[in-house]
Amino acid sequence: MARSEGAWVLRLRRQAPPRVRLFCFPYAGGSAAVYRGWLDALPAHVEVCAVRLPGREARLSEAPFTRGEDLVPAVAAALLPLLDMPYALFGHSMGAVAAFELARQWRRQGVCLPVRLFVSGARAPERPNPDPPLGHLSDREFVAEVRRRYDAIPTGVLENPELLQLLLPSLRADFAIFENYVYRAEAPLDCPISAFGGQDDARVCADDVAAWGTHTTRPVAIRMFPGDHFFIHGSEQAVQRTVSEDLALA
């Protein structure tokens, strides 16, 4: 069963009352739909809350954020009413950095930390992005470079100019957030971290994933899955199973 929670969240839940909420953040250019299949794969007591960012899906008419400094406080305020039970955060690639910064934002506000933070397909935040920025490129060059680096734009979108034009503003905005991100050192989080990586990811290596261990005072679980940067699709069942197992430890 799916229902919206205002503009920001698509809540996926069964009839049984949830005992923990899992807030899921998409990768650059992604949407809440990335996590629609997670409901049946996770335990019945877990409510999947897929975060809807401006500039896509039902929020297509809204301007997307281009700065993490603006996005994170807005998400923190929007999701705060849903923190009436234990919660966890999951994010992939750009979404991992957003989830990490959201946990730190809530800590600064005196809000309880998540029972577990899942960071997937992302290097630890203090590790610089080695790739040159894309913001100055023309649309054609931008699309070509995104495809070269990540193979992230489906062929069906590329072959449909109107659909591609709908995707480009949010994709460009997400890359701007990612490329302009500046890590600022704070104390490690006092919550467990699960850090996932793809064994064949050409952009995020095993050392990048393992470095997340310095950002928690609690146990860290490092796991590498078969696949490239988007292993959460190719190894989706294994990822979902691991999320379920790690939430059981919370």
Positions annotated as catalytic residues are 93
Q: DSSP string of the chain? A: -EEEETTTEEEE--SSPPSEEEEEE--TT--GGGGGGGGGGS-TTEEEEEEPPTTSGGGTTSPPP--HHHHHHHHHHHHGGG-SS-EEEEEETHHHHHHHHHHHHHHHTTPPPPSEEEEES---TTSPP-SPP-TTS-HHHHHHHHHHHH--S-HHHHT-HHHHHHHHHHHHHHHHHHHT------PPBSS-EEEEEETT-SSS-HHHHHGGGGGBSS-EEEEEESSSTTHHHHTHHHHHHHHHHHHHT-
